[in-house]
Structure 1
Amino acid sequence: MILEGVSLLTLVFIATPLKYGFNNPVFVKMISPIHGSLFLLFLFNTLRTKLET
């Protein structure tokens, strides 16, 4: 799932440096729930695909 990968890269390479380098945790608070939701959708989709085969 491309969106989940993009959310992870955004979280790691943009939001985390902003949080720790510039003391600005706002972007992490916005991206983290989105990334978590997309990751859960990725897991459910993977399990569903595995059960169908």
Structure 2
Amino acid sequence: MKSREISKETIKKVVSISQSIEGYKPASKLLQQQAKEIMAKYNVKISA
């Protein structure tokens, strides 16, 4: 079975389309910073 080469541009396009369908909005810098502080405080990792 051959693996096909997929360009980074194609991957980015597919991801952006799927995110727009799901209503994804990037988190603000403040929210990202607060999440990092909470993760550091409680020594946990979350995918955000």
Asked if TM exceeds 0.5, the reply is no
Larger relative contact order (C-alpha < 8 A, sep ≥ 6)? 1
Instruction: Tell me the TM-score normalised to structure 1 length.
Output: 0.31
The structure that has the greater radius of gyration is 2
